[in-house]
Amino acid sequence: MDALNLSNVSISSSGNVTFSGLSSGLDFESIVDAIITAKQIPADRLALEISENSDKIAEYQTFRNLLTQLRDSLSSLHGAVSLGDTLDIFEAKAAFASTTRTDGQSPTAAANLVGMALTNEADLGSHTLEVLNIATAHKVSSDVVASTTTSLGYAGTFTVNGVSITANATDTLQDLRDRINNADTGASPTGVGASIVTAATGQNFLVLTADETGTAMTLADTSGSVLEDIGVLTAGGAAIKNELQAAASARFKADGLLDIDRFESDLVGSGATLLNSVADSAAYPGSFDVTGSTGTRTINYTSSDTITSLKDKINLETANTGVTASVSGSTSTSTTSQPQA
């Protein structure tokens, strides 16, 4: 500034300096901005401190989560106390399965044939599962039908697994398929679905397939001859005319034992029948001998023994007989089990 007019300056008793007038030459706007900026410095420092503390809190929370994960991981290590050692990672068992075919052809992957579930209490060992027959659903077809959208001219009532279905003369092949599928719903479904398979132009087939494997469907004309006319049943409705696939249940052997639940009659004269007769016999107590590479031991049993307790008794004598025992049955799906580190 070039000059200062002191008459425009006044000082109060508290020491505050004030200016008045326009002839002082001072830049009041800059002075006010500087004062405001100076007043804001403590607030800016406080805001920065709050932001830094928030970042610290977030990092501490992340660190805490990581420590929690580490604690949970360590709780599964050897020595963790749990029922059946379910939390002991060193007791965990894993199943490994492989497949072969007796005809030398490439086998189906094991995962496509059987599912396996193990607990930490599973015994170590190797098991063989022989698939004798896979499960199939009953499947039948009609005779060839030229069009799927032309009226069939078949009217009447027929039953599918006891459920009545009515067809009209104006129904097309598609309509008949839909009627059958609609009957496979609700509280009392037929258990049979319908589809149309087109082999070539003008060659259409109505295919009926059971929803479940191993159960044959029952079909009958009750009024008229719809199923007979379309070629699902033979003349007079005596039998199925075009059976594409018979119903079959899965059948297998586990360590040489047949699937007891479904094929109990096949066990006559087998070792499994003998074992069942021991379990069902009233001749208690009893005993049998186990002879192996290192000797013979007598195993005693009572009426309270189960097949699992018999297994345990045999294994208690393994050092003296060289024989180990395991339990296999119709619900067993394990193959080779090994410890998993």
Per-residue pLDDT tens digits for 171-221:
999 999 999 999 999 999 999 999 999 999 999 999 999 999 988 999 999
CA distance 287 to 278: 10
Q: How high is the pLDDT of residue 68? A: 86
Q: How high is the pLDDT of residue 310? A: 81
Per-residue pLDDT tens digits for 30-51:
766 777 777 777 777 787 888 8
Q: Which CATH class is domain 137-245?
A: alpha beta
Length of the chain: 341
Task: Please report, for the chain, the start and end positions of each structural domain, with discontinuous segments joined by +.
Answer: 1-69, 137-245, 261-325
Buried b (16+ CB within 10 A) or exposed e, 105-127: eeeeebeebbebeeebebeeeeb
Cis peptide before 107 (omega within 30 of 0): no
Q: What is the pTM of this model?
A: 0.50
Residue 254 reports pLDDT greater than 50: yes
Q: How high is the pLDDT of residue 149? A: 96
Per-residue pLDDT tens digits for 68-87:
888 777 766 655 666 666 66
Cβ 89 vs Cβ 75: under 8 Å: no
At 158, give phi and psi (nearest 5°).
Answer: -140, 165
Amino acid identity at 293: S
Strand arrangement, sheet containing 242-245? 192-200, 203-213, 137-141, 242-245
Smallest CA-to-CA distance from 208 within 228, 229, 194, 227 is with 194
CA distance 109 to 130: 14
CA distance 171 to 115: 44
Smallest CA-to-CA distance from 330 within 237, 255, 218 is with 255
- Which residues have a Cβ under 8 Å from the Cβ of 299 and sit 6 or more positions away? 287, 288, 289, 290, 310, 313, 314, 317
